[in-house]
Amino acid sequence: MGKLNYTKRMSDEAVRKGNQKLVKSINRSIVLNIVREHGPVSRADVSRLSQFYPATVSSIVNDLISEGFVREAGLGDSTGGRQPVMLQLDRRAGISCGVSIGVDRLRACVSDLDAQVLTSEEASLDWGQGPRRCMPAVTGVIRSALGQAQVDPDRILGIGVVYPGPVDAECGTILASPHMPGWGGFALREAMEAEFSLPILVDNDANAAAWGEKWFGAAQGRSDYLYVMVDYGLGGGIVIDGQLYRGRNGGAGEFGHMTVDVDGPQCRCGNFGCLDVMASAGAIVDKLVGGVKRGARTSCVGLCGGQVDDITIDVVLQAAGEGDAHAQAVVEEAGRYLGIGLASLINWFNPELIVLGGRLPLESTLYFQSATETAKRRAWSALGRDVSIVLSSLGPDACMIGAASLVLTRVFAPPSIAAYA
């Protein structure tokens, strides 16, 4: 109930400020989220869980039914007296579309109000053409997903777009382009708004995944947690007191450029020994290929037809899973470096939870165990012993669902007190 407690504190603060419009909006959010999380649920149970008067609950519920977000779902069990009318979220009352822009591919989905994916589409992306020439591919995969879902256009709430790099979420502009040179400074939201007459939300992919985990995944009910995504690059999202922390200009969470070995190889950022070049999928492939060229023996060579330069992360993880000692050593070492970085994050942020997502933690138990064991061992014991480190429950779809969640959480998230100041 951490999320509800946070929202209830907001409501109490709004009462102290005397802003009745804000109080009503926050109370609406509390009731809607109780129905979403606990439905089918009776009005009496909503009153008990929210600590609101029954008349307040009835008024809010009637509004939500009129808006189409909540529906009555039959009668519940009686504990004496009349059977209660049960309430349930109408998941098809609103539809969201999310698209994740990756280094080599696009993934789009259409989801209902509970972030259940109705349909998804993929397309290849040649980012080297530049962002403007890539926009037809981006808009095309969105239109394809929406077409496959066959949804009522009036129910589409908006489109969320996420990008693998720092983003100014307020104006929808890509700030920097570490993995896709030439995309920095591109006004992504403006380009999308030229194609769709819908609300467009733009964010960093890891931030969106972190937000998706809060509302629909492993971080539900948590107020202070970190999301760390490890694929060919490494990034993360920071949630403090229930709010996504972006930093001064939207760049918070670029964990991939944390130094973990001052004598390590050079990163594309210009520094040396960053997590990106020590713990990512690219780092694993580079390390293993380098070892082979220096004479190391591994089944990876045979798995890719004898072509050393054709070794991919798929090949390495397959070999490690089949017991190849060299592949296992490389994967385990990369996991240890991630664990060193996680230990620092634990000491800095004192989170209650760290959610690990992305390809490596999800597909390699060896990598995940190496990272978590190292993090627990190296973090200050007063902080490390209480933090939970878990895998993303949104899995490989976290960024795509996170993109859709940017839109969905506008329905469920409480309004900002600052917006009513």
Q: For the segment 49-61, what is each residue's pLDDT rounded down to a tens digit?
A: 999 999 999 999 9
* In a shared domain, residues 254 and 362: yes
| pLDDT score of 165 | 87
Q: How far apart are CA 146 and CA 109, in angstroms?
A: 8
421 occurs within a structural domain = no
Task: Flag whether pLDDT at 13 surpasses 70.
Answer: no
* In a shared domain, residues 292 and 363: yes
* In a shared domain, residues 247 and 324: yes
Residue 178 pLDDT class (50, 70, 90 cuts): confident
| pLDDT score of 20 | 80
The mean of the pLDDT values for the chain is: 91
37 occurs within a structural domain = yes
417 occurs within a structural domain = no
- Of 55, 89, 123, the one marking the end of a domain is 89
Mean pLDDT lowest among 68-72, 131-135, 327-331, 417-421: 417-421
Residue 410 pLDDT class (50, 70, 90 cuts): confident
**CATH number for the domain that contains residue 406:** 3.30.420.40
* In a shared domain, residues 245 and 346: yes
| pLDDT score of 258 | 95
Mean pLDDT lowest among 3-7, 188-192, 361-365: 3-7
Task: Flag whether pLDDT at 275 surpasses 70.
Answer: yes
**CATH number for the domain that contains residue 50:** 1.10.10.10
Q: Average pLDDT in the 219-246 region?
A: 93
Q: Average pLDDT in the 296-322 region?
A: 94
277 occurs within a structural domain = yes
Task: Flag whether pLDDT at 172 surpasses 90.
Answer: yes
* In a shared domain, residues 243 and 352: yes
* In a shared domain, residues 83 and 100: no
* In a shared domain, residues 384 and 407: no
* In a shared domain, residues 244 and 382: yes
Q: Average pLDDT in the 153-163 region?
A: 94
Q: Which of 69-73, 78-82, 179-183, 186-190 has the highest mean pLDDT?
A: 186-190
* In a shared domain, residues 85 and 101: no
* In a shared domain, residues 202 and 321: no
Q: Average pLDDT in the 269-295 region?
A: 95
Domain interval for residue 9: 2-89
| pLDDT score of 25 | 87
| pLDDT score of 4 | 53
* In a shared domain, residues 311 and 338: yes
Of 10, 23, 50, the closest CA to residue 34 belongs to 50
Q: What domain count does the chain have?
A: 3
* In a shared domain, residues 38 and 129: no
Task: Flag whether pLDDT at 168 surpasses 60.
Answer: yes
182 occurs within a structural domain = yes
Q: How many CB atoms lie under 10 A from the CB of residue 8? A: 18
CA 196, 197, 198: angle at the middle one, nearest 5? 90
71 occurs within a structural domain = yes
**Which of the pair, 389 or 420, is modelled with greater confidence?**
389
- Our measurement of the distance from residue 408's CA atom to the centroid of its chain's CA atoms, rounded to an integer in Å, reads 13
Record the tokens describing residue 220, joined without a space: 């539900």
- Of 89, 119, 143, the one marking the end of a domain is 89
pTM across the whole model:
0.87
420 occurs within a structural domain = no
| pLDDT score of 12 | 55
Task: Flag whether pLDDT at 2 surpasses 60.
Answer: no
| pLDDT score of 81 | 79
